[in-house]
């Protein structure tokens, strides 16, 4: 059997290490979940303005987000709503509800990105699909106002028409629609009890005092 030179053995070892490293990197890159499904939750003070009649079950909202190579696809499904309602959906930085559904001491939603309108049909259902970067990476940045990269891992939607929430005690308007004359926040996601991150983060990294999301 011919002897193998030291140079050949070193080259073979380097090549093998490179293959193993590439395989590990590829595995890490594909280890993220392909899809995630989660609920959104009503603002309890507004349930009677969302349900088809007083005392009816609380309407339900389910969101499925499928990861893509270049962007992601979110499908939002509504059921059990009062027919004819319209809403405006945003990705937001912060939820005014805690993981248990209690009111967060900070009621602000922080940074918000307008994503789509939602419309409830005569059967009390509605759906919309959005396609953009969502899972683990969605963020906004603005150097002009010194806004550092800020993730928006929550979803929330607002009444499009302020008068639709008037019977629940709402007055005035909010800026959360295309005309900047919307009603109150109707539904929102809740943070994870462990990470305190929104459901659009599927790959959290736990630190000593807080969690971040692996992009």
CA–CA dist 34, 68 (Å, integer)? 8
pLDDT at 27: 40
User: Domain 35-202 falls in which CATH fold?
Assistant: Immunoglobulin-like (2.60.40)
pLDDT at 22: 39
Is the pTM above the cut of 0.75?
Answer: yes
Tokens read off for 114? 């307008």
For residue 9, report the phi and psi dihedrals to the nearest 5 degrees. Answer: -65, -40
Q: Dump pLDDT digits (tens) for 126-151.
A: 999 999 999 999 999 999 999 999 99
Q: Dump pLDDT digits (tens) for 3-36.
A: 444 334 433 343 433 333 433 333 444 589 999 9
Q: Are 93 and 151 in contact (CB under 8 A)?
A: yes
Tokens read off for 40? 């959104």
* Structural domain boundaries in the chain: 1-31, 35-202
Q: What angle do CA 198, 183, 124 make, to 5 degrees?
A: 80
DSSP state string for 83-130: TT-EEEEEEES--SB-TTSPBPS-----SEEEEEEEE--TTS-EEEEE
CA–CA dist 189, 95 (Å, integer)? 7
């Amino acid at each position: 059997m011919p002897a193998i030179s030291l140079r050949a053995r070193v080259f073979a070892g380097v090549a093998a290490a490179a293959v193993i490293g590439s395989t590990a990197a590829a595995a890490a890159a594909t280890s993220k979940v392909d899809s995630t499904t989660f609920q959104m939750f009503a603002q309890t003070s507004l349930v009677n303005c969302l349900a088809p009649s007083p005392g009816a079950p609380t309407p339900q909202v389910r969101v499925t987000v499928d990861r893509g190579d270049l962007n992601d696809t979110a499908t939002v499904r509504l059921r059990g709503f009062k027919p004819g309602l319209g809403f405006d959906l945003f990705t937001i930085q912060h939820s005014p509800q805690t993981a248990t559904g209690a009111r967060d001491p900070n009621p602000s939603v922080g940074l918000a990105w307008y994503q789509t309108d939602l419309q409830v049909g005569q059967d009390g259902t509605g759906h919309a699909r959005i396609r953009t970067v969502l899972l683990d990476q969605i963020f906004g940045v603005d150097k002009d106002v010194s806004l550092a990269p800020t993730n928006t891992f929550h979803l929330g939607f607002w009444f499009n028409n302020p008068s639709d929430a008037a019977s629940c005690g709402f007055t005035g308007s909010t800026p959360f629609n295309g005309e900047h004359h919307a009603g109150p926040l109707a539904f929102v996601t809740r943070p994870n009890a462990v990470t305190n991150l929104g459901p659009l983060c599927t790959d959290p990294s736990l630190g000593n005092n807080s969690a971040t999301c692996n992009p």
